[in-house]
Amino acid sequence: MTVKLGKVIQVDVRKAWPNEAAHFTPWLASPDGLELLQDALGMDLEVEATEQFIGPFRADILAKRTDTPDEHWVLIENQLEKTDHRHLGQLLTYAAGLKAATIVWVAQDFAEEHRAALDWLNDITSEDYQFFGLQIELWQIGASDPAPMLNVLAEPNEWTREVKQSAEGGVSDLKQQQMNYWQGLRTRLLEKKSKVRPQKAHPQSWTTFAIGRADTWLGACVQSQKKYIWAEFCFRGPAGKVWYDELFAQKDAIEAEFGAPLSWERLDGKKQSRIAIYLEGVDPTNEADWPRQHEWLIQQLEKMRPIFQPRALALSDGNSMPETDSHELTDET
């Protein structure tokens, strides 16, 4: 029997979004648009504002990453037409005004010179900055509803950056081993199709996992000198350690759900607090033992996620703690 197949046809984006500011920007900032954007960028986002004023200009979408413990702004500029020099200039102006770390240009079509400009910016900047070019398309099969698609045309080349950093003496043997450690954990999480969503591996003594609210995250950390590893639910702020006190009031219930005592660390004098579990007597530099360590970390993280994710979303509002430029953990190992 011959299966009847439909024909895929491309649809003018203006059919779904006649006006960029009135239709496309609100859709891209909506849960459906944001999900598509997150999948394309490989990061978790929380929209902070749309049509954000920066001096006399307005940026389309301002978002914050929720899968990193550091404050990381994401600026998104939309263009339902072919890219032009004016929008490239706006992107750089807005990014400077907002101190954005990730800059995303969404357009219907990219001029080759603008795509090359984004590649050049990714090549000359540090890993603290990222430039993306995303092409928006609409596709339809027969009389079906048109489906949006975001094609990544320009993005940071992480491999090139790592090689460049290594050639400049920026990645020590220890840092390389740390990156391999987290890459192994990431691979295992992906193989298991875990709900704990891994980020890209970096050469540092910790890695983080988003749980849906800014300034809160799950983390996995290593301490090579003192021979232990740990999993944590970590958060920074609000002022006065209000969030810590709210959670500590639920200590008995949380530990009963987790099935074991946890280490409650208010960390007075620092902007972040943590609730953690430790595995002592293990050597993170012993690669032969990594599978066992990774399995232990995954087990703890998968137990923590359903316990702390809903509680993170239910935490009260509060004033943020003073900002710092670095993670509170000592990156030594």
**pLDDT value at residue 70:** 65
- 322 burial via Cβ count (<10 Å: 0-12, 13-18, 19+): exposed
Whether 324 maps to a domain, the answer reads: no
Domain boundary among 137, 161, 185: 161
- 129 burial via Cβ count (<10 Å: 0-12, 13-18, 19+): middle
Clarify whether residues 175 and 274 are in a common domain: yes
Tokens of residue 123, six digits? 């090549």
Taking the C-alpha atoms of residue 248 and residue 105, their distance in angstroms, rounded to an integer, is 43
**pLDDT value at residue 237:** 63
- Asked whether the beta carbons of 102 and 74 are under 8 A apart, the reply is yes
Clarify whether residues 154 and 216 are in a common domain: no
Whether 332 maps to a domain, the answer reads: no
Lowest mean pLDDT among 1-5, 23-27, 236-240, 252-256: 236-240
Tell me how many degrees the CA angle 77-78-81 measures, rounded to the nearest 5: 140
- Asked whether the beta carbons of 147 and 138 are under 8 A apart, the reply is yes
The DSSP call for residue 22 is: I
Lowest mean pLDDT among 50-54, 89-93, 328-332: 328-332
Clarify whether residues 141 and 179 are in a common domain: no
- Asked whether the beta carbons of 11 and 146 are under 8 A apart, the reply is yes
**pLDDT value at residue 38:** 86
Residue 185: name the closest of 69, 302, 265 by CA: 302
- 70 burial via Cβ count (<10 Å: 0-12, 13-18, 19+): middle
Whether 200 maps to a domain, the answer reads: yes
Residue 75: name the closest of 118, 39, 45 by CA: 45
Tokens of residue 86, six digits? 């004016």
Tokens of residue 85, six digits? 């020099």
pLDDT, tens only, 135-144:
999 999 888 8
What SS3 class is residue 73? strand
Clarify whether residues 179 and 217 are in a common domain: yes
Domain boundary among 161, 192, 217: 161
**pLDDT value at residue 114:** 96
Clarify whether residues 151 and 12 are in a common domain: yes
Clarify whether residues 147 and 75 are in a common domain: yes
- Asked whether the beta carbons of 308 and 233 are under 8 A apart, the reply is yes
How far does the chain reach from its first CA to its final CA, in angstroms? Answer: 63
Domain boundary among 142, 161, 180: 161
Taking the C-alpha atoms of residue 331 and residue 284, their distance in angstroms, rounded to an integer, is 14
Whether 177 maps to a domain, the answer reads: yes
Clarify whether residues 147 and 14 are in a common domain: yes
Question: Which H or E element spans position 256?
Answer: helix 251-258
Residue 17: which domain range? Answer: 8-161
Clarify whether residues 205 and 304 are in a common domain: yes
**pLDDT value at residue 158:** 61
Clarify whether residues 145 and 179 are in a common domain: no
Question: Which H or E element spans position 183?
Answer: helix 173-192
- Asked whether the beta carbons of 268 and 245 are under 8 A apart, the reply is no
Residue 332 confidence (pLDDT) above 60:
no
Q: What is the mean pLDDT of the chain?
A: 85
Clarify whether residues 124 and 195 are in a common domain: no
pLDDT, tens only, 3-51:
777 788 999 999 999 999 999 999 999 999 998 998 888 777 889 889 8
Tokens of residue 19, six digits? 């006006």
Clarify whether residues 209 and 284 are in a common domain: yes
Residue 157 confidence (pLDDT) above 80:
no
pLDDT, tens only, 160-183:
555 455 444 444 577 788 889 999
Count how many domains the chain has.
2
Above pLDDT 90, what percent of the chain? Answer: 52
Taking the C-alpha atoms of residue 107 and residue 30, their distance in angstroms, rounded to an integer, is 18
CATH label of the domain that carries residue 263: 3.30.1460
Taking the C-alpha atoms of residue 307 and residue 318, their distance in angstroms, rounded to an integer, is 22
Whether 227 maps to a domain, the answer reads: yes
Q: What is the mean pLDDT of residues 66-72?
A: 70
Taking the C-alpha atoms of residue 236 and residue 243, their distance in angstroms, rounded to an integer, is 9
The values of phi and psi at residue 58, to 5°, are: -130, 125
Taking the C-alpha atoms of residue 13 and residue 267, their distance in angstroms, rounded to an integer, is 51
pLDDT, tens only, 273-320:
999 999 999 999 999 999 999 999 999 999 999 999 999 989 887 544
